[in-house]
Chain A
Amino acid sequence: MEANEQLTSAKQLLDPQLQKKIRIKTLTKSSVVIRSTLIILALLSIYAFISFDYKQLDVGEAVLSTFANLKAMFLEPHLKHFTFTHALYQVFVTLGLAFLTTLFGAIIAVFLGLLAAENLTNKRVSSMIKGSVAFIRAVPTVLWVLIFAVAAGLGSVAAVIGMTFHSVSYLVKAYSESFEELDNGVIEALQASGANWWQIIFQAVIPSSLTYMISWTFLRFEINFAVAIAMGAAAGAGGIGFDMFMASNFYLDIREIGAITYFVLAIAILLEMVAIRFKKKLKVNG
């Protein structure tokens, strides 16, 4: 082809150094870190499988019986120890737990989030709050619930406080980051017109971050629904999670777990669909 001739003639112009082997991959910090991260994770996983505590388990048999269980669960669900209305009511109890903890968490997080936003306070206050919030987040929710349960007794009070703790830490991070994205010019303009801190917060900061805040809060509600189920099972918080725990640990009824799972799935998928809507909004506005 004509094109090729052109290119070969161009080749002759090049200095001889280029005639030697040409590498195409370049080693950057990013590619080195990516590769080492992947290798380390792979090695740790292999080591994990070797060191697992298998407890004389016949893995093949266990897998097969799990398949049988899943089949029974999803294809032959039934309710024996609970009525349909009871299960439905318990789903609402779980939703109620999720709602309360999200609401309390959101209210507290708005104030802490304002204090944690670097552009609204100062660096010291901000990093102090962000630090304590990271600390709270590091403790698994169930441990918070159990710790509060010693003082408040097992039940919804401990569950709500423990779950609220985690919601606060999650939402403070989300809120403060969206506050920090606010254009500094807006704050300056209001300051110049003589507005005080609270006026700036309520007239500029919160209105412009509102869509973000609503989306994040809903995402947390979705998470809290799942957490509330787990707390029902592991920390006596009541709701559908507790029924699931009973079906699994006391009645040993896999089909009943199946029925309960269907309830949970229905609500969770519904919430996820709404959350995706909110998230799309986040993207459009961001």
Chain B
Amino acid sequence: MQADYFEKKKRSTRLFLAILGVVTVISIIITEYNVVKGFSSLPKAVEWGLANFYPTQESLTKLPAILDKLIETLLVSIAATTTGAVMALLFAILGSNTTRVNAFFGSISRGIATIFRNIDVAAWAMILLFSFGQSSLTGYFALFFGSFGFLTRAFVETIDEVSGSSVEALQATGAGYFSIIFQSVIPSSLPQMISWILFMIETNIRSATLIGLLTGSGIGFTFNLYYKSLNYDVASLVVVVIIVAILFIESVSNYVRRAVL
């Protein structure tokens, strides 16, 4: 009996490891990943980074221009998140099992959000590039669509989690649909929703850099410019600026989270 149990456990562990090994080998082959090069290039990269990838005195002259682009990127991220959140709230209320008007609209609104969420922002950027060119709106809409999709799912979960019971209570008092939404659903889910919005802003700033690279705008474009022209000192300054910005926003949102939740 006991021996059996351990034997079985051992066997399933072995099977799991074998499958993992096989998938790993297949992955290495099809991605043409060179394992040796992978390991050897790590120290090389560190060595190169220490020798070249740091801001110099001269690169600091570019700082004002970089900050300009950083602010543009931050604003795009924030605007996309807040407008995406408003739309997500609408869809989440329609899509949540607690607050939906009926099952049909519920599935429709969740389905729409699923599609938007699962098309990556990079893909949205490439699609939007056709019509919006290199304006800020390309990045804005790409992030807006992604945020809308992600936040809808997060908000639906939040609503179902926190407001189910009080919604039932207000229905029992005969309260109308909108009264229930505004007096019960929103007050109880708002803190959690704000936490998700702040998380989304952080994520969007990182994605905005990527979109900037693809579409030639914002801080991503600035990085690309200096990176491609081998001005690694300025490129590294861009990275430092991004790191500072993201860590700053992270600490602000941690503060808000602690105060709010």
Contact = CB atoms under 8 A, between A and B. Distances in A.
Contact of A37 (B41, B119, B129, B260): B260
Nearest to B46: A151
B130 A254 contact: yes
A37 B256 contact: yes
B37 A157 contact: yes
B114 interface: yes
B194 interface: yes
Interface in B232-261: 232, 239, 242-243, 246-247, 250, 256, 259-260
Given A248-B126, A257-B126, A265 B246 contact: no
Interface stretch (A39-47, A77-85, A120-128, A184-192): A39-47
A49 interface: yes
B199 interface: no
Contacts of A138: 242-243, 246-247, 250
B259 A30 contact: yes
A140 B202 CA distance: 11
A143 interface: yes
What's the interface size class on B, roughly?
A: 35 or more
A49 B47 CA distance: 43
B170 interface: no
A238 B31 contact: yes
A150 interface: yes
A14 interface: no
A65 interface: yes
A69 B131 contact: yes
Contact of B127 (A37, A48, A103, A257): A257
B214 interface: yes
B171 interface: no
Given A44-B78, A272-B114, A152 B37 contact: yes
Contacts of B210: 140-142, 230, 234
Closest 6 A/B residue pairs (Cβ): A96-B27, A48-B75, A48-B79, A230-B122, A268-B118, A151-B45
Interface of B: 20, 23-24, 26-28, 30-34, 37-38, 41-42, 44-45, 47-49, 53, 72, 75-76, 78-79, 81-83, 114-115, 117-123, 126-137, 140-141, 190-191, 194, 197, 206-207, 209-210, 213-214, 217, 220, 223, 227, 232, 239, 242-243, 246-247, 250, 256, 259-260
Given A34-B191, A135-B247, A141-B210, 13 more contacts: A57-B135, A92-B30, A95-B27, A103-B24, A134-B250, A138-B246, A141-B206, A142-B220, A143-B209, A148-B45, A229-B123, A257-B127, A261-B119
